Amino acid sequence: MNRKTLVIAVIVVVVVAAVVAGVYLATQSGGGGGGGGGAPDVAGATSLGFKVNATIGGVHEEYAFTAKNLGTSEVMLRVDEIDAQGNAFVYVFNQTAQTVWASVSGQWNDVSSEFASYWDGANSAIIGYTAFEGYKTQLATNWSGSGDYDYTSGGDTFHIFDIIVNPSLADSLFQHS
């Protein structure tokens, strides 16, 4: 084998090794559930958690949304809220049972008779499933997959952070005590 043939053979081996390594790396799952290193699949998530600092109509409030069984008719949703006056509220929703429990000052109240209003009716735009879906849609459509996400809508501002796609969540998180 002459020197020129040996150099060509070495180059071919290096190119083949690089292609094999590239294919291997490209087929490995990326971080956060998106596969291939892309953004996590928020739209297809089965569970999701995030916090929101919202200024709506000039009033600042804080929320933490946690949901599981997404994509089914058995969604469980928990919303922790701190209102503009610093009062803490917790709302626990069960879509299957159509129940909602609200904790005000540590006292749990069954407000299931208002389930429809809290889930997707008049009260749902801030703390219910409608609000959750709105934030989820913003993340699925616009979030890069890492860090926080900020947006404005109609003069209101929203800062979404501590975003976790497909966390493992215990059912007890969605129960009143």
Give yes or no: residues 21 and 103 share one domain: no
Give yes or no: residues 126 and 78 share one domain: yes
Mean pLDDT of 105-121: 94
Give yes or no: residues 19 and 77 share one domain: no
Whether the predicted pLDDT of 18 surpasses 70:
no
The domain of 127 spans: 47-174
Asked if the structure places residue 147 within a domain, the reply is: yes
Give yes or no: residues 83 and 145 share one domain: yes
Give yes or no: residues 168 and 131 share one domain: yes
Give yes or no: residues 11 and 75 share one domain: no
pLDDT tens figures, 117-154: 999 998 888 899 999 999 999 999 999 999 999 999 99
Please, what is the Cα angle at 106 between 83 and 126, to 5 degrees? 30
Give yes or no: residues 26 and 81 share one domain: no
- In total, how many domains does the chain have? 2
Give yes or no: residues 87 and 28 share one domain: no
Residue 132 tokens, joined: 């959750």
Q: What is the pTM of this model?
A: 0.77
Asked if the structure places residue 11 within a domain, the reply is: yes
Give yes or no: residues 12 and 85 share one domain: no
Q: What is the mean pLDDT of the chain?
A: 82
Asked if the structure places residue 163 within a domain, the reply is: yes
Give yes or no: residues 134 and 67 share one domain: yes
pLDDT tens figures, 23-43: 333 333 333 333 344 678 999
Residue with tokens 């609000």: 131
From CA 143, how far away is CA 163, in angstroms rounded? 10
